[in-house]
Amino acid sequence: MKSQHIQSLSRFFRVLSDQTRLKLVVLLLQKGEQHVTQLCKTLRLPQPTVSHHLGLLRAHGLVRNRRQGKQVFYSIDPVPFRRAGAAVKQLFGLI
């Protein structure tokens, strides 16, 4: 496996190593698209905290957002998760 793949996987898992970000990803995977207010209520966290973590997830390409009026909706971008899964399988010789 090339070192760039290792670096990419390392960044992917580093972003998900934070409990709040991991909870956001799991929530979006389970419930689908959610707006920030829904996420704040479910996680019982203030809006600035949730927005900060969503911004990091978005910056790393793990979530997408769309605006509808004043609400911002977030959803999982499945592509990086598929790539990470394939890279992990390759790394451990599972494929």
Cα–Cα distance, 47 to 39 (Å, whole number): 9
Which domains can be identified in the chain, with CATH numbers?
3-87 (1.10.10.10)
30-45: pLDDT as tens digits: 999 999 999 999 999 9
Share above pLDDT 70 across residues of the chain, in percent, rounded to a whole number: 96
DSSP tag of 77 = -
β-pairing verdict for 63-68 and 71-76: antiparallel
Contact by Cβ (8 Å): 77, 63: yes
What's the one-letter identity of residue 7? Q
52-75: pLDDT as tens digits: 999 999 999 999 999 999 999 999
